[in-house]
Structures are given as structure tokens and as C-alpha cells.
């Protein structure tokens, strides 16, 4: 089969897919009747409780007069408010992603010496097996970097003599190696794609041992390896804001779910990457930028509120952009009034937009930020409120950093591997039970019909 007809939707497939959709006859009322928690959440967005964690806390409500009411969101890593962490790191000169990784994995803030040894260990692990770039990353590069990343992670299994050992020290070693290697696997994957698909010059910069994760991304990505301190700082903050978000987010829950079967680290992390790739999860940041590009193409006046509002309404009515009916970068499964990550990131993004002379662009983001929740509330049944999420500003930030669109979601993965690792270690430490929820069958049992009587 050639690649040309490999993906063809033949009339036969179309006919069979019609049968598939005709077979999907579950009455939506039954979900209510059997109290099925769709999306594993109740109507207020509160997730079904499936586990305990000490790694992070995602808060979206407060108690008033004994009742839980929506509140501005807050996020805690091992009990420390992320806003305080970022303020603390911002005052000092070092980067924060490594310090937060230490915090998530080991439950305490590192001393100066502990952080130094930890960074040295990460640098030591930032080396790919011999010929991995040539034999694996350069071969049949995918057009989607998350696919490339997942393939690379799965392939590392065959380079690991202890791949299936799920004892704590070995899983920790594998996780630290993956945390170190994700920037290289992602960016080299992009360089290969850029070369083979777009004919760009191919270069593979070796990482520098003294560089932080954020610096490494910029160093290996850019032809001249140059970046400003503000660029590296902004990327470091983006990594901190994306690195962990409780046990229930789709990719971290995937890590728990897959880890609970006792499988190897590479399988669990590849599955989490597959989850993060989805446009309703990590893939949303690309969609935000593309949606704004489309908006700018169609608007006559970026400052005209009525025109912007009409475009947003067209988005929801599937009449604009990708016709999915979504305003990307808005809404969250848990947060309602505000997403703390968007709040924190907003000021840094504003600062960089001023430095880059992109004030008009930032003003358009601000206008959409204000109008979209109102329009969504008018067009959809909203139970808990909608506000900008972390992806609303991250795509804009990455575009100001000249990062290629293809790397937006991998950068999320480069950050979130720290959280996935902490959760995998927690799952293996505390849980001996394979996850196995229930689905209620609503199909009547039937007599088998012999072929000649159908």
C-alpha cells in the first residue's frame, strides 16, 4: 500500500462508518438515569474522586457560609502557591523549572547544594544513546512533533536494559532521564521535520551542560543558539506554569491509569503524550494562535468590539475558523472565575509584547479575553463560568519567542513530564491496585442469528 492510498476514505469505509454511527443509539437521558458522570465529572465540573495525591492542588472554589462557591483559581505545588514560587524565583537570578521539578519529585524545596547536584545530574542525563538522532529521529520524521516525541520515548525502551524494572530507584532514573531528554527529542524531531518536509538547513546543536531546560530549548532550536535573558526567563516561567496540574488532568490521569497496570515507564509516558496531543488538552495552544490568525484575517478593525463579538459568535456556531464550535484558550474543566496560570502569565506576556512592539496584538487578546466568556455563556449551558486558560496566552508568548508552531505542544510536554514523573512515582509507591472502572451496558441481550437467517 502506498502512502497515497493509505489514508484514503473509500466508499466502502464511508458506508461502514455510517453503520458505526447508526449503531450509536444510546439515549442521552440514560446518562442521567444511571447517574453516569460524563467526563468523570459532575455538572459543576467537579471530578469523580479516584485517588489521593500530595503533589499538587488545583483550587477553584471557596467556602462561604458553609457552602462551596466559585472563586478565582489557585494552584499549589507540594503545598506552595505557584504565585509565590514564581515571585520567589523571579527575585533571584537562577531558573525555576529545575527547582520546581525537585520540589514535585521529592516533596521539599531544595537547598542551594541540593539544587546544584540535581542540575548536574540532569545535565549528565541529557545525552541521547549513540546514533539515536541518526537512526531514530531522522528516520521518517512525522509532521506532528508529539507523534515524533512519543515514538522516540517508546524507542528508548529498546536502549534500556532495565526497561521493565518498576522498582522506585529505576523508575526515578528513567523519569530523570526523560525529563532531561525531552527538549532534545522534541527540538531535534522538529529540525528533522523542518529539513525533510520544508527543505530547511539541518543543524543539531549539542546541549551545554551549564544550561537550564529553558536555555537548552532555545540553544538547540536556534541556528545561532542566541537568546536574551528575558526570552529564557519567560520560557522558564511558561515551563513552571505548565509542569503540573493535579492527578485528574487527562494526561496525568492517563499516567496513573497506565502505570496502575504495572507497565514500564516508556509505555506510560508515551500514553500521556498521546493524551496531551489532543486539542482539548495540550494541543489547544496551537489552536489559539491559528484562531487569532484567522480572526485577524477576517476582522476589518481589531478594536471594533461588535465585530470581534460577531466573530466569536461565529466560532461558537461553527461558522468560523475550524468549525469545531470552540473558542480556544477559553474554559477549563476545573477553573471557573479564573485560571491562576493565565493570570500569572498575562503580566509577563504583556511586558514582552511591549518590548516587541506588539501592543495592538495584546489589545486584541485583551478584548477577546473580556468578550469570550460573555459570548460562551450566552451560547452554551454554563454551570460554573468560563475564563481564559493557560493556553490563551502561551501560544502568543511562544510566537513572540519565535518558537515554531510545531513545538508549542511539545513544550507543554517538556514541562509536564515533571508532573507525570511525580505522579507515576506516587502511583507506584501507594497503589497496588489496577484501575478498572465500570461501564453500564444498555444493549439488550439477543439470540445469536445464524448467517443464513440474517
Residues serving a catalytic function are 332, 391
**Shortest spacing between CB 376 and ligand COA, in angstroms:** 5
Q: Which is nearer to ligand COA, 178 or 390 (CB)?
A: 390
Instruction: Round to whole Å and give the CA distance between 221 and 98.
Output: 20
238 near ligand COA (CB under 6 A): no
Among residues 82, 240, 271, 333, the one that binds ligand COA under rule CB under 6 A: 333
Considering only residues 50-109, where is the footprint of ligand COA by CB under 6 A? none
Instruction: Round to whole Å and give the CA distance between 205 and 220.
Output: 5
What are the beta bridge partners of residue 314?
none
The SS3 of residue 128 is coil
Considering only residues 29-48, where is the footprint of ligand COA by CB under 6 A? 45
Instruction: Round to whole Å and give the CA distance between 185 and 191.
Output: 10
State the CB neighbour count (10 A cutoff) for residue 446.
Answer: 6
Considering only residues 120-149, where is the footprint of ligand COA by CB under 6 A? none
Binding piece for ligand COA, criterion CB under 6 A, among 67-75, 116-124, 165-173, 323-331: 323-331
**Shortest spacing between CB 250 and ligand COA, in angstroms:** 9
Among residues 243, 312, 376, 401, the one that binds ligand COA under rule CB under 6 A: 376
Stretch 377-416: interaction string toward ligand COA, x if CB under 6 A: ---xxxxx-x--xxx-------------------------
Residues whose CB falls within 8 Å of the CB of residue 213, separated by 6 or more in sequence, listed in order: 95, 97, 98, 122, 183, 236, 239, 414
Q: Which is nearer to ligand COA, 57 or 160 (CB)?
A: 57
**Shortest spacing between CB 200 and ligand COA, in angstroms:** 30
**Total residues binding ligand COA (CB under 6 A):** 22
**Shortest spacing between CB 228 and ligand COA, in angstroms:** 28
Among residues 178, 284, 364, 418, the one that binds ligand COA under rule CB under 6 A: 284
| Structural contact between residues 332 and 389, judged by C-beta atoms closer than 8 angstroms | yes
How buried is 247 (Cβ within 10 angstroms: 0-12 exposed, 13-18 middle, 19+ buried)? buried
Among residues 280, 290, 343, 356, the one that binds ligand COA under rule CB under 6 A: 280
Report in angstroms the alpha-carbon separations of 367 from 305, 306, 309. Answer: 7, 11, 9
**Shortest spacing between CB 381 and ligand COA, in angstroms:** 6
Q: Which is nearer to ligand COA, 77 or 335 (CB)?
A: 335
Residues whose CB falls within 8 Å of the CB of residue 78, separated by 6 or more in sequence, listed in order: 54, 55, 56, 103, 104, 107, 108
**Shortest spacing between CB 313 and ligand COA, in angstroms:** 11
Instruction: Round to whole Å and give the CA distance between 374 and 286.
Output: 23
DSSP 322: T
Looking at beta carbons, which residue is closest to ligand COA?
331
DSSP per residue over 271-317, as a string?
A: HHHHHHTSTTTTTHHHHHHHHHHHHHHH-S-TT-HHHHHHHHHHHHT
Q: Footprint of ligand COA on this chain (CB under 6 A)?
A: 45, 280, 284, 316, 326-333, 376, 380-384, 386, 389-391
Amino acid at each position: 500500500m502506498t502512502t497515497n492510498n493509505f489514508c484514503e476514505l473509500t466508499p466502502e469505509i464511508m458506508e461502514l462508518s455510517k453503520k458505526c454511527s447508526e449503531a450509536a443509539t444510546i439515549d442521552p437521558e440514560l446518562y442521567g438515569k444511571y447517574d453516569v458522570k460524563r467526563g468523570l465529572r459532575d455538572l459543576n465540573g467537579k471530578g469523580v474522586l479516584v485517588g489521593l495525591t500530595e503533589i499538587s492542588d488545583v483550587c477553584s472554589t471557596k467556602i462561604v457560609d458553609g457552602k462551596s462557591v466559585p472563586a478565582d483559581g489557585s494552584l499549589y505545588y507540594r503545598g506552595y502557591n505557584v504565585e509565590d514560587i514564581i515571585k520567589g524565583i523571579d527575585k533571584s537570578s537562577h531558573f525555576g523549572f529545575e527547582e520546581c521539578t525537585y520540589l514535585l519529585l521529592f516533596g521539599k524545596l531544595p537547598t542551594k547544594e541540593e539544587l546544584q547536584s540535581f542540575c548536574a545530574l540532569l545535565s549528565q542525563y541529557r545525552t541521547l544513546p549513540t546514533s539515536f538522532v541518526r537512526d531514530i529521529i531522522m528516520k521518517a520524521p512525522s509532521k506532528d512533533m508529539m507523534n515524533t516525541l512519543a515514538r522516540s520515548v517508546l524507542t528508548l525502551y529498546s536502549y534500556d536494559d532495565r526497561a521493565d524494572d518498576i522498582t522506585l530507584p529505576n523508575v526515578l532514573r528513567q523519569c530523570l532521564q526523560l525529563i532531561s531528554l525531552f527538549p532534545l527529542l522534541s527540538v531535534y524531531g522538529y529540525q528533522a521535520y523542518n529539513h525533510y518536509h520544508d527543505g530547511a538547513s539541518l543543524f543539531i546543536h549539542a546541549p551545554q551542560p551549564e544550561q537550564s531546560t529553558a536555555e537548552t530549548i532555545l540553544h538547540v532550536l536556534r541556528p545561532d543558539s542566541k537568546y536574551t535573558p528575558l526570552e529564557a526567563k519567560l520560557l522558564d516561567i511558561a515551563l513552571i506554569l505548565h509542569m503540573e496540574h493535579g492527578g485528574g488532568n487527562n494526561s496525568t490521569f492517563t499516567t496513573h491509569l497506565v502505570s496502575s497496570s504495572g507497565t514500564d515507564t516508556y509505555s506510560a509516558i508515551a500514553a500521556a503524550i498521546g493524551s496531551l496531543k489532543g486539542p482539548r488538552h495540550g494541543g489547544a495552544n496551537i489552536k489559539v494562535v491559528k484562531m487569532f490568525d484567522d480572526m485577524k484575517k477576517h476582522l476589518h478593525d481589531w478594536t471594533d468590539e461588535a465585530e470581534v463579538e460577531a466573530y466569536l459568535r461565529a466560532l461558537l456556531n461553527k461558522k468560523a475558523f475550524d468549525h469545531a464550535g470552540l473558542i480556544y484558550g477559553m474554559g477549563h474543566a476545573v477553573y471557573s472565575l479564573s485560571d491562576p496560570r493565565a493570570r500569572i502569565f498575562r503580566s509577563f506576556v504583556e511586558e514582552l509584547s511591549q518590548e516587541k512592539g506588539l501592543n495592538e496584538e495584546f489589545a486584541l487578546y485583551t478584548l477577546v479575553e473580556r468578550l469570550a466568556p460573555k459570548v460562551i455563556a450566552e451560547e452554551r449551558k454554563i454551570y460554573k463560568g468560563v475564563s481564559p486558560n493557560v493556553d490563551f496566552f502561551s501560544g502568543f508568548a511562544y510566537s513572540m519567542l519565535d518558537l515554531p508552531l510545531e513545538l508549542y505542544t511539545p513544550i507543554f510536554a517538556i514541562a509536564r513530564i515533571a508532573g507525570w514523573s511525580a505522579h507515576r512515582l506516587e502511583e507506584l509507591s501507594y497503589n497496588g491496585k489496577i484501575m478498572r472502572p465500570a461501564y453500564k451496558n444498555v444493549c439488550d441481550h439477543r439470540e445469536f442469528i445464524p448467517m443464513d437467517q440474517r
